[in-house]
Structure 1
Amino acid sequence: MTDTKQLPPPTSSSKPPHWFSKVWPWLIVLLFVLGVEYWLGWKNILQPWASLSWKQLLIAVVLLLVSYGLRTWRLYDYFPALRPYPVACLRLTLLHNVFNNLLPARTGELSFPMMMKRYFEINYAQSVSALLWFRFLDLHCILAFAIYPLLVVTPLRRLAIPIILLWMLIPPLVYLLRHRVELHFAGKTGRFSALAQQTLFGLPDSMLSFLKSWALTWLNWLVKLLTLAWVLDQFIDGVTWNVLITAVVAGELTSVLPLHAPAGIGTYEAGIIAALLPFLAPAIASSAAINLHLFVLGSALIGGLVGWLLPKPKL
């Protein structure tokens, strides 16, 4: 019988250093900036902005701010405790948006329950559940904008309308069958089960509240996606609105990735480029994607500045 040697337990040296987890996102940003300068040149990429009038840019920025206002309305309508504080509610939405856009790996989402607790004394369970419900509606809406354009360019185009109608039934069915779904997940363990239970906990109390949150979600994304598609169209030629919407949706979908660099740099562009590559040269698609992302980040920063200037609630 041969002796077997027991392997030593792994030491902390086998794990990446603690500082590396904080540095690598910013390293990706640096590599992205340098890579763009090497392959395309920032001067060439930013040149199309010179042909845009300030009126066009102002209208586009205002429309994005309108979408933030619709998002605020959804939050304001969902929580009765926020009714006396509409301005503070807008402040929270604008700051949450800028944190979500700039911080890496979805850490910006943590600002929502923290500010809800700080500003309005709403506990974490309520705010996190509401946020999950809002994100469910957001994802469902964004995917609807992706499904239809993709179907109409395939042999399944005749089924595009029936499929999208079936897709639209998901939120009301979830709401109507929420008690059965809750019973299905009750007592079950696992990450998905816990996520489902917490999301169901965040559903509105009445059908009217549900319809309001759903309608405001659609209004928000209609304004935002159409605005972004129009801005993207300013940087490219010869592309249909179907392609523009698909590209914008692809970029927005990357924002749900669990890991990405600060401000979504690299991943946001990759989503847009992937949708544009069948129709445009790589350099043109890359330049347009970068410029659109700069517009999104710039608008978020303007909204964040406005939110920072707004007064905090006085409870």
Structure 2
Amino acid sequence: MRRAHLLKLLLSVVILVITLAVVEYKIGWYSLLTSWQGFSAGTLALLAILSLSSNALRALRIKISFELPAARYPKMFYLSTNHNLLNNLLPMRTGEVAFPVLIKRYFGIGLMSSSSHLLLYRLLDLIALLSIAGILAVWQFNSLAAVGLALITVTGLLLFDRVKRLVVWLLGRFSSPKLTKLAQTLAVLPTRGGHYGAIVLTTYAVWLTKLLAFLGVVMQLSQLTLVQAVTSVAVADLSSILPIHGVAGSGTFEAAFVLAGKFYAIDTSTLLKVAVQLHLFLLLMSFVAFALGWLVANVFCRETSLQAETE
């Protein structure tokens, strides 16, 4: 097992080195980095706010999902930014492990319960990303078809609870204690009513702010149309689920962005340049959000401690 992990790590490093070399050969890192000078301070600030808002909304989703007290929100924000950073840096979504561990550390919630909530988040994330990207892309050609896609999405979300109950019933057919425990955990997941609706709406807010930030970067740095940008951004984001990619997602993120753009017969060098810049923005904002989350959590803890001492 250790050997397999070492081989995957070595492969990730190799992919990173190849990506760095290809970018230097095709574009040049100096040319790529200096192109950010075309952004005004106001535009960069707006894109950064949108990106940070996405992280803040993820924390809000945690609060809503687990019905945690608002006073603990700073810790939720720190947890969310920590989890997001690890997901962006570690391969094969191994950063997901941080979520149940941190939830248990900060809020005392069991691993099984937090993992089932994380599964719910990821399923809703996938639906939100695909539906938003699909509706934006289809709207450019046929508004009626876009409305139809929106209605299909709403119908699917309304049927979510029935699908969950079917899964719970199937798991209950087995005599395994572990599967029985899993069925019990899934059964109490909020998949109907106002609680579920609030989670869904927050998920869509997360992705709207994130996609707006990403699309702002892409369309500022290139001549891609909205449809082209949406397609490339959505496919690039989905590349994070691949089993193998370079360190911090390098290589596969760019490859997915380029392959999606090639569907529109766009020049490879143009696509690669934008893909790398978008990836740099994603990583930079992950670090900024994490630093902000750490600062907010520590200031909050300090103020709480001072209040406790004065009382």
Is TM more than 0.5 here?
yes
- C-alpha change, 1:199 and 1:286, in structure 2 (3 Å) is farther
Q: Does 1:128 align with 2:115?
A: yes
User: In structure 2, what is the equivalent of residue 142 of structure 1?
Assistant: 129
Q: How far 1:157 moved relative to its partner?
A: 7.8
Q: Does 1:58 align with 2:48?
A: no
Kindly indicate whether the alpha-carbon contact (under 8 Å) linking 1:102 and 1:263 is maintained by their aligned counterparts in 2.
yes
Partners of 2:164 and 2:274 in 1: how far apart? 43
Kindly indicate whether the alpha-carbon contact (under 8 Å) linking 1:82 and 1:120 is maintained by their aligned counterparts in 2.
no
- C-alpha change, 1:205 and 1:246, in structure 2 (3 Å) is closer
Q: How far 1:170 moved relative to its partner?
A: 1.2
1:236 to 222, 226, 232: 222
Q: 3-state DSSP class of the match of 2:91? A: coil
User: In structure 2, what is the equivalent of residue 269 of structure 1?
Assistant: 254
Q: Does 1:293 align with 2:279?
A: yes
Q: How far 1:38 moved relative to its partner?
A: 2.2
Kindly indicate whether the alpha-carbon contact (under 8 Å) linking 2:168 and 2:186 is maintained by their aligned counterparts in 1.
yes
Q: Which moved more, 1:73-82 or 1:132-141?
A: 73-82
- C-alpha change, 1:16 and 1:110, in structure 2 (3 Å) is closer
Q: How far 1:160 moved relative to its partner?
A: 4.2
Q: Does 1:211 align with 2:215?
A: no
User: In structure 1, what is the equivalent of residue 23 of structure 2?
Assistant: 36
Partners of 1:158 and 1:80 in 2: how far apart? 38
1:24 to 11, 32, 44: 11
Paired amino acid for 2:233: V
Partners of 1:236 and 1:178 in 2: how far apart? 43
- C-alpha change, 1:177 and 1:273, in structure 2 (3 Å) is closer
Q: How far 1:61 moved relative to its partner?
A: 0.7
User: In structure 2, what is the equivalent of residue 282 of structure 1?
Assistant: 268
Query: Deviations 1:27-81 (Å, cap 9, x if unpaired)?
Result: 2212211221123211222231121122211211111101111111111111124
Q: How far 1:231 moved relative to its partner?
A: 1.0
Q: Does 1:109 align with 2:89?
A: no
- C-alpha change, 1:92 and 1:16, in structure 2 (3 Å) is closer
Q: TM-score, normalised by structure 1?
A: 0.84
Unmatched 5+ residue regions in structure 2? 306-311
**Superposed, which structure 2 residues align to 1:62-211 within 5 Å?**
62-149=49-136, 151=138, 159-176=145-162, 178-187=164-173, 200-201=186-187, 203-204=189-190, 207-211=193-197
The structure that has the greater radius of gyration is 1
Unmatched 5+ residue regions in structure 1? 1-11
Q: How far 1:164 moved relative to its partner?
A: 3.6
Q: How far 1:205 moved relative to its partner?
A: 6.7
User: More helix per residue: 1 or 2?
Assistant: 2
Paired amino acid for 2:58: R
Q: Does 1:45 align with 2:63?
A: no
| RMSD value, Cα | 2.9
Task: State the percentage of identical aligned residues.
Answer: 30
